[in-house]
Amino acid sequence: MNKDLSNYRKSYEKSELLENNIPENPLELFQKWFYDIDKHYEVDEANAMSLSTFGLDGYPKIRIVLLKRFTYEGFIFYTNYNSEKGKAIDKNPNVCLNFFWHAAERQIIIKGQAEKIAENLSDGYFESRPVGSQLGSLASDQSEIIKSREALDEKLRKLELQYMNKEIPRPKNWGGYIIKPVEMEFWQGRPNRMHDRIRYRLEEDYNWKIERLQP
Ligand SMILES: Cc1cc2nc3c(=O)[nH]c(=O)nc-3n(C[C@H](O)[C@H](O)[C@H](O)COP(=O)(O)O)c2cc1C
């Protein structure tokens, strides 16, 4: 318990983020960084992102979810609409996403509003999932208490029998959310803690205002 962390130091030297080299739309920069990470760095699950919500208990909560699609409109992930996060989003759709790609010394913070995506889009994605994952979504009342692991496994076994050789319907309480961004901040680590931080903010005329923040 006595390990001294104060000497953990790392110099960030891999890249830079300068105004003369960035697009007007932050989603384009997101796409550039994402493909760069996917192609040039060995990052496991580069699409893993932290999602923070305001909970009904008044506390913020952060958990990892997987980005499954991004478009010019926003960032899509899938989950159980009745989960703790689903209930939190129902009450307050303002959320924050965070990507940290250590290998590239990059972080992206996205503030935005979560909305359920159209049912047919959730259907399409659900159909594309492996059967095991489909059944898992049916079996889990995500975030509810269950008395044991055995009870959970038993729920899955029953569903496996029930749906053997049958099409598995998407549970109505399972589907996608899209996060429509209002602010995106790109952080590139630099030496001497003089990091680059470029923030895009959506203005009333739907143009993105670009500003540099101090590190
Ligand atoms: C790498 C990783 C990926 C995950 N992907 C998802 C996901 O896409 N959707 C999801 O609902 N939960 C995902 N989870 C589980 C969530 O972190 C969380 O435990 C779950 O959604 C319940 O959260 P809640 O009780 O706050 O609603 C993932 C966890 C990890 C570690």
CA 193 vs CA 103, 107, 118: distances in Å:
17, 14, 43
Tell me what percent of the chain is helix, strand and coil, each rounded to the nearest 5: 30, 30, 40
Q: H or E stretch including 186?
A: strand 174-188
Band (155; pLDDT cuts 50, 70, 90): very high
Cα gap 102→129, rounded to integer Å: 29
**Nearest residue (CA) to ligand 1, atom 10:** 79
* Mean pLDDT over each residue of the chain, to the nearest integer: 96
Query: 38: which residues sit within 8 A by CB, 6+ positions away?
Result: 46
Q: Tell me which residues have their CB closer than 6 angstroms to ligand 1.
A: 45, 48, 61, 63-66, 77-79, 83-85, 142-143
Band (36; pLDDT cuts 50, 70, 90): very high
76 Cα–ligand 1 center, Å: 14
What was the pLDDT predicted at 9?
86
Query: 215: which residues sit within 8 A by CB, 6+ positions away?
Result: 190, 193, 194, 195, 196, 197
Q: H or E stretch including 7?
A: none
> What backbone torsions phi and psi does residue 200 show, to the nearest 5 degrees?
-105, 130
Least confident of 5-14, 80-89, 190-199: 5-14
Band (2; pLDDT cuts 50, 70, 90): confident
Crossing angle for the helix pair 149-162 and 131-139, to the nearest 10 degrees? 120
50 Cα–ligand 1 center, Å: 9
Percent of the chain residues topping a pLDDT of 90 = 94
Q: pTM to 2 decimals?
A: 0.96
> Is pLDDT of 1 > 80?
no
Which residues carry out catalysis?
A: 193
What was the pLDDT predicted at 122?
98
83 Cα–ligand 1 center, Å: 10
CA 201 vs CA 52, 61, 71, 192: distances in Å:
19, 24, 18, 27
